[in-house]
Chains A and B, each alone.
Chain A
Amino acid sequence: MVALDIQELHKSFFIPTVKLDTLREHVLNSFKLRKYFRNRRELRVLSGVSFSVQAGETVGIMGRNGSGKSTLLKIITGIYQPDRGEVRCTIPITPILDLGVGWNPELDAVDNIYLLGTVMGLTLRELKTAKDDILEFAGLQEFSRLELKHYSSGMAMRLAYSVAFRAVRGLLILDEVFAVGDMEFKERCYKRYEEIRQAGHTVLMVSHNPLDIGRFCDHAILIEGGKIVLEGNGEEIARAYVQSLTS
């Protein structure tokens, strides 16, 4: 069964060479229309990207910075709208595009678990039962009532990771947030990730790490300049990515 089908996705951003924020700037610039339009440069981020992901499959996306990976994930997630093309997803999406999104440093860990968990689509009832597990996975039970501003960055990342991976539904979308923390916690993350795969979740992951793509992805794509330049299994794409960096 196809879980995600992407057909001919196009996306451009218009980058103004002169930034127009205020009404005054807009009004003044409307008197010099030709100059206004000449001052906007089209940046093509995606040009006809098509691929599909089967249910239960893990697909990796590799590419240099600025190649369009994050924009692609934001369109799939629904944060950005495509200019042209179609995204069809038949299962619920859990996007993890950034760890700790929505953190409020003035609140303690428990309040932040509720905040982040509800934003990621968990109900209050689910969070009530999952709260202790989340703290235990992060190894932060004794700091549950400590405000987040007093956490080290590593502790905050561990908590964020624990909440995010608790909220996984059908299709998990990961943008460079595969494993965090020290070696011990990273191993725990990999183990948790294997559990997610075995539970039959579909995963779409962006990573610059060839080892992660080679180890976990059934299938992968390499993006350059907003186009898919190569498709293959995880190891092939990981090798091709490393070669593209060194050549």
Chain B
Amino acid sequence: MKTKTIINNPPGAYLPGLIWTLIRTDFKTRYHGTLGGYLWALVKPLTMFVVLYAVFSVIFTMDPNYSVNLIIGLFLWDFFSEATKTGFLSLQAKTFLLTKTKFPSWVVVLTSVSSALITVIIFSIATCIYIAISRHHLGLLEISCFGLYVFLFLVIIIGISLAGSVLFLRYRDINQIWELLMQVGFFFTPIIYPLDIVPHKLHFFMYAWLPTAVIQFSRSVLVKGEIPTLTAHLMLVGSAAIVLFAGTFLYCRLAPHALERL
């Protein structure tokens, strides 16, 4: 006899409200009772920026755009790192909901990246305003391209989080391995150093690590005012789609039984 569960709930009606409520309550409780509130989310990457800038601006004195490149690299990396780490633990963190009631569990993974997304949006706006005022004019095309890169980064993050969240329920070490990868990735990605100091033949491998592509493309449009080629764009879009597809595929395969491990 075939195995089949049919639940005839009207699907979409309550989902926008559920997503909004989960984001809102997560945001409210994260900084509940703190004097600084949401400012703490902004202080962390800013402090990192001040420390790194104080140390490395002495070394990279030849680059007049070092500070802007550094801040763009830092906040985009912080987005990637924070969002994926939260995403990996998202299902585990909502055990009390997922084992007692029925709603699409992917909503939990999706909303878990919201806090990091809000931070990156605030930083993006602030950086664009700073560049437009103190450096050069930013056209609609540059801003749109940058918006596209942040969106593609979000797609990549959701793909990784979907896969990581279900794998974590089976292999608890995955979380530790990912954190280790994040530590190594921080130095592998050209955040505190310019990509130009790396031998050209290694650039392909560095771009294969998708945060490098997103950060370099963002720097290119915001700082240099140069739009990457159409081929480069297509490769980034294709890579993001592959990551999302792979993550979704893995999630759909593993999630129904993975939830029994909660």
Contact = CB atoms under 8 A, between A and B. Distances in A.
Contacts of B28: 106-107, 111
Contacts of B171: 21-23, 26
A167 to B, nearest CB: 10
A86 B3 contact: yes
B4 A86 contact: yes
Nearest to A120: B101
Contacts of A122: 14, 17
A111 B1 contact: no
A150 interface: no
A83 B98 contact: no
A104 B8 contact: no
Interface string B168-212: 000111100100000000000000000000000000000000000
A21 B25 CA distance: 31
A204 B173 CA distance: 40
A120 B15 CA distance: 11
A86 B1 contact: yes
A121 interface: yes
Contact of A81 (B3, B98, B173): B3
B10 interface: yes
B181 to A, nearest CB: 14
Contacts of B7: 77-78, 89, 92-93
Contacts of B99: 74, 79
Interface residues of B, number: 41
B172 to A, nearest CB: 5
Contact-residue bracket for chain A? 35 or more
B172 A22 contact: yes
B135 interface: no
B21 A118 contact: yes
A40 interface: no
A6 B14 CA distance: 27
Interface string B152-176: 0000000000000000000111100
A97 B100 contact: yes
Contacts of B256: 81
A154 interface: no
A101 B4 contact: no
B25 A79 contact: no
B72 to A, nearest CB: 35
Contacts of A21: 171-172
Interface of A: 7-8, 13, 21-24, 26, 74-75, 77-93, 95, 97-98, 101-102, 104, 106-107, 111, 114-115, 118-125, 127, 169-170
Interface of B: 1-10, 13-14, 16-18, 20-22, 24-25, 28-29, 32-33, 96-103, 171-174, 177, 256-257, 259-260
Name the 7 nearest CB pairs between A and B, nearest first.
A124-B17, A101-B100, A23-B173, A118-B18, A118-B21, A98-B100, A92-B9
29 contacts: A7-B1, A21-B171, A23-B174, A23-B177, A78-B102, A79-B98, A79-B100, A80-B260, A81-B5, A81-B260, A82-B5, A85-B1, A85-B3, A86-B4, A88-B6, A89-B7, A92-B8, A92-B9, A93-B102, A101-B97, A101-B100, A106-B28, A111-B25, A118-B17, A118-B21, A121-B14, A123-B13, A123-B14, A124-B21
